[in-house]
Chain A
Amino acid sequence: MEFLSSLFPSPESSFPLLAVILGLPALGALFNGVFGKRLGNDGVRLMALATVFGSFLGAVATFLLLHHAGAAHEHHVRFVWNAWRWLALDTTNIEVTFSVDNLSSVMLLVVTGVGFLIHVYATGYMKEDPSFHRFFAYMNLFIFAMLILVLGDSLPIMFVGWEGVGLCSYLLIGFWFEDSKNAAAGSKAFIANRIGDFGLLVAMAMILHHVGTLSWHGMDAQAGQLLTNVQLWPIGGGLPSWMPAFLLKPRTVDAATLVGLMLMLGCAGKSAQIPLYVWLPDAMAGPTPVSALIHAATMVTAGVYLVARMNFVFMLSPTAMMVVAGVGALTALFAATIGLVQNDIKKVLAYSTVSQLGFMFMGVGVGAFASGIFHLVTHAFFKAALFLCAGCVIHAMHARVHDTDASQDMRNMGGLRKHMPRTFFAYTAATLAIAGFPLTAGFFSKDEILFRGLVNRIEPSAALKQLVGRSAPKGLNHEQLQGLISSLTTPSWFHKAVFIIGLVAAVLTAFYMFRSWFLTFFGDFRGWRIVPGWKDTGHGHDEHEHEHEHEHGHGHEHEHEHGHEHEHGHEQETKHKKDGPVPHEAPDSMTWPVVILAVLALFAGFVNAGSIHLTPWFEHWLSPVFEGSAKMLATVQTGEALHKVEYGAMAGGTLAFLIGAGAAWWVYRAKGGEPARRAADAAPGLHRLVLDKWRIDELYEATVIGFLDSLADTSAWVDKWIVDGIIAKLTSALVALAGSVLRLVQNGKVQAYGAVMVAGLASVGAFFVLPHGKVVVNVDPKSGNYVLHAPPGIGYHYRWDVDGDDKWDGGDSWTLRAVSDVRPANAPGPGESRTYRVEVRNAFGLTKLELVTLTRPKVDKSSPERAMNDKGVAP
């Protein structure tokens, strides 16, 4: 520890370890991307694992140092590393600065730690893939981008990482881009994220406008500036007056709410919340480690991180907080219902992820930022473990089933408990954790959220009173601010609703997770007839060989097709079953990361087990970050009463687990799935609807995408018939005309070119032959007289008339005098103007008459220089 501290004497101003943490994955990405093919798989593996592990070590060291520093001072410690200045704006500078504080150190550990385990897993999972190096280049790049996101010290830098992870997500979803379905899924993710990014950019611009800075600590100190009213037009200002009145009238919103909502739009895109969640289930087209790393553990939680990071903004607007919590709760419930009936094991986990992200937003939305982040961490453990287990199972299925969809279909699995003991253990542990089995990680984190959702009240008024005079917006007097503040609080019915929705979602979570557990690991194996000692003769064990025995269209069409079947695929039973080997356990490189994650999923909860009277270390660790927000929070009860509510919430969570798990046991184990079949038969329409994910994709297809399609069609029509048909025709006709004229000149004959040259020479000659008489007026600095300068030239002669008698001075004779000064007697008086003449004759006898009009300005003190500017020269 002392050694580490001695390495970084003043980490709060310069902490270059962050550069190492960031640089290593970037280096790995560069090497694997550029030299990967030449390095070979072993080299790529070494590079990828070493860089991420190095980052992880750096993260641990950072954490220890931070802990050390945080123990010494009880305030918000930040370690900063400033790379360079990016933009210098009028009001603020945007620095490429990275910083780590208590919150980002947690994220740092999760990203590098879980990231490393998944990298290890992926070396086994992707072993046979021909694009091994490309995969790890993307993965390292993702870690790099995610670290920028987490470590960025300001919104723009974070946005760079935000876009970077989006890019890597796109690249990795479409990793097997040979299948157009995968590429389409990547595009969908990208586009859904763009919609969210729009919100994030708007929020950034608004913060820059109202607060004037975009760095975390700067915004934290100045966030009160956002408590100002802004006007919002439905379409935009400056519409013509014949438009309907409701389009012309601006609404008044306070800036904090608007910024909060826009940030939430960005978070909804990245973290797959309603209404932008649709991309995440499709994102499962990517390799399973990608699903685990990006679409479960790290990237999709960036939205939660951002809300927690921007807590000072959200806390100013209970409206925005209600939206965050409400969206989270609804997403949690909604996604869980879809998860109930999915047959694809990865799809179940995907909807589960959406649902759990909803829980996190619920947590941060009710002001329990530490609880939300805690759930983020535990979710990273158990969801990564679940996905990796699913990967192991799929890996085993690929021994005989090569179709992507069929190998992930739980109706083809079953009974794997005996064959894959390690995977079974890990899946069991993670399922218990996510379902909320008492004392597992998920139990603590989920209960914390539900409990906080019930008791927390966002009442910024008390703390905001302190803001008056500190960073409150100008132009608001004390009374106005008081009025604004007193309106800010969240209603209690909302909290009850959030709690109940969360509880229902928890029941559903337990149900669908245990359903997948039973279907996958219990009963008889349904994939093929197990023949011990069976040798594969036809197909090599190539797990990513996409053999489309039955060509499926898009994912939902496939689901649709199966929707007519019942839970256990009759299709498979009626078909002649193939022979196959005993399903095998995955190699060690895949199982060990899973087991480690599973152990973490079981026991990580104890770091924040305040509910069973252990020290809530995690909450204390994060408390400096949310210090300001904590002041704006109140709880409905305090002391012992609060604990009673906590126990009640805990009991509710346990009950939810029991109900969900018990129901799953009864349906899928005791009765062998019969009740599910009967329920589906009883309400076939509803079943189909849920199986089709409530047809939200179709709704978007019909509305937003349809609208855009028709817009595109219109544009295409305009382009084809107006732009191409009229404008382009005109242009091309013009060009053709010009061409046919110019072609006469460009005739390929040397002499024609020579003629053009001669013409040019002749014009130059004409310049010299013609006389030039442009007179320059100067002022003699000594006498203040005007001096007229005629241009000099070979053989030039001049005659002047500067005395104003309309006759040439000195008769009609020509002189060589090119300069003539105007005597004061002949100069114009103030306000007057007089005209003088000069005639120039060149060597060819050509003459030119030049008139010069001088005007002296009226003002007495005006200098002759002024007069110079006012001179007019008439031809």
Chain B
Amino acid sequence: MISIPLEHYLVVAAVIFAIGACGFLARRNALVALMSIELMLNAVNVTLVAFNRWHGDNHTGQMFAFFIIAVAAAEAAVGLAIVLALFRLKKSVRTDTADLLKN
């Protein structure tokens, strides 16, 4: 039986993480930035689950991934609320409009 080795999963995860990081850095839309963060979190989850598959005698990696999903859900909710507040304040969800601290 041909099975896919650990490294392939890691490469996929790294690619998704890099895409998410670039998206977070490059996009000015706060909503897309939040989505990019979700991408990065998911990529990390993939590595965790893959390593858990390699060390198959416990569930630590999957447990970790589970908690990350919970945190990500909370983060998405709070992040979206902040985006809403920002939108109400600036009538825009562009992140570069949120520069009140600068002045």
Q: Interface residues, chain A, CB within 8 Å of chain B?
A: 747-751, 754-755, 758
Contacts and interface: CB of A to CB of B under 8 A. Distances in A.
A749 B25 contact: no
B96 interface: yes
A113 B98 CA distance: 76
Interface string B1-41: 00000000000000000000100111010000100000000
Contacts of B101: 748
A747 B98 CA distance: 11
A758 B100 CA distance: 24
Given A758-B21, A758-B25, A751 B33 contact: yes
Contacts of A749: 95-96, 99
A755 B99 contact: no
Nearest to B26: A751
A748 B102 CA distance: 5
CB-CB nearest 5 A-B residue pairs:
A748-B102, A748-B99, A748-B101, A751-B25, A755-B25
Interface string B62-103: 000000000000000000000000000000000110111110
Nearest to B27: A751
Nearest to B36: A754
A416 B18 CA distance: 102
Contacts of B96: 749, 751
Contacts of B25: 751, 754-755, 758
Nearest to A747: B102
Given A758-B21, A758-B25, A751 B99 contact: no
B31 to A, nearest CB: 13
A798 B49 CA distance: 32
26 contacts: A747-B99, A747-B102, A748-B98, A748-B99, A748-B100, A748-B101, A748-B102, A749-B95, A749-B96, A749-B99, A750-B33, A750-B95, A750-B98, A751-B24, A751-B25, A751-B26, A751-B28, A751-B33, A751-B95, A751-B96, A754-B21, A754-B24, A754-B25, A755-B25, A758-B21, A758-B25
Interface of B: 21, 24-26, 28, 33, 95-96, 98-102
A758 B98 CA distance: 21
A748 B98 CA distance: 8
Contacts of A748: 98-102
A747 to B, nearest CB: 6
Contacts of A751: 24-26, 28, 33, 95-96
A318 B101 CA distance: 77
Contacts of B95: 749-751
Contacts of A758: 21, 25
A870 B21 CA distance: 48
B15 to A, nearest CB: 14
Contacts of A750: 33, 95, 98
Contacts of B99: 747-749
Given A750-B98, A751-B33, A758-B25, 14 more contacts: A747-B99, A747-B102, A748-B102, A749-B95, A750-B33, A750-B95, A751-B24, A751-B25, A751-B28, A751-B95, A751-B96, A754-B24, A754-B25, A755-B25
B43 to A, nearest CB: 13
A752 to B, nearest CB: 9
A747 B103 CA distance: 10
Contacts of A754: 21, 24-25
Nearest to A750: B95
A658 B65 CA distance: 109
Contacts of B33: 750-751
Chain B CB within 10 A, most for which of A747, A748, A755: A748
A754 B26 CA distance: 10
A795 to B, nearest CB: 10
Nearest to A746: B102
Nearest to B37: A754
A58 to B, nearest CB: 66
A865 B24 CA distance: 55
Nearest to A752: B25
Contacts of B98: 748, 750
A834 to B, nearest CB: 40
A748 B101 CA distance: 6
B16 to A, nearest CB: 15
A751 B99 CA distance: 12
A761 to B, nearest CB: 8
A749 to B, nearest CB: 6
Contacts of B21: 754, 758
Nearest to B100: A748
A861 to B, nearest CB: 52
A844 to B, nearest CB: 13
A750 B28 CA distance: 10
A747 B33 CA distance: 18
Contacts of B28: 751
A305 to B, nearest CB: 66
A749 B28 CA distance: 10
A751 B21 CA distance: 10
Contacts of B26: 751
A766 to B, nearest CB: 15
B38 to A, nearest CB: 15
B70 to A, nearest CB: 23
Nearest to B96: A749
A751 B23 CA distance: 10
A755 B100 CA distance: 20
A748 B100 CA distance: 8
Contacts of A747: 99, 102
A607 B98 CA distance: 91
B85 to A, nearest CB: 15
A751 B98 CA distance: 11
A748 B28 CA distance: 14
A793 to B, nearest CB: 16
B22 to A, nearest CB: 9
Contacts of A755: 25
A209 B101 CA distance: 62
Nearest to B103: A748
Chain A CB within 10 A, most for which of B25, B26, B99: B25
B96 to A, nearest CB: 6
A758 B95 CA distance: 18
